[in-house]
Amino acid sequence: MKLTESQIQESVAELSGWNRKDEKWIEKKYRFKEFLDGIKFVNQVAHLAERLVHHPMIAIDYKLVTLRLTTWSAGGLTELDIQSAREIDEIYRSQQISSV
């Protein structure tokens, strides 16, 4: 079910670095030290997307990966988008910790 405007504002405010785009999207950019680190991240996000059956728009620009989330069937943002964003951030954090 599509979130209300107040639910969206509250949920996005709790997410680190995610921004609202065009009313029905949330977006975040992730920067990596090496190109292949970004590719590894995208592969992990792809596995998450398959598990959740919820697939982000993904753009890879060398060491910068941009992800956008929306729920097409609901016509906007849902709790699944927020959950996906949280889990994607966890993937990023764990990858950064393991590469140190």
pLDDT tops 60 at residue 100: no
11-54 tens-digit pLDDT: 999 999 999 998 899 999 999 999 999 999 999 999 999 999 99
**Which residue ranges make up each domain of the chain?**
5-98
Domain 5-98 has CATH 3.30.1360.20: yes
Question: Which residue in the block uniquely carries the two structure tokens 């992990």?
Answer: 44
44-96 tens-digit pLDDT: 999 999 999 999 999 999 999 999 999 999 999 999 999 999 999 999 999 98
User: What letter does residue 4 receive in the DSSP assignment?
Assistant: P
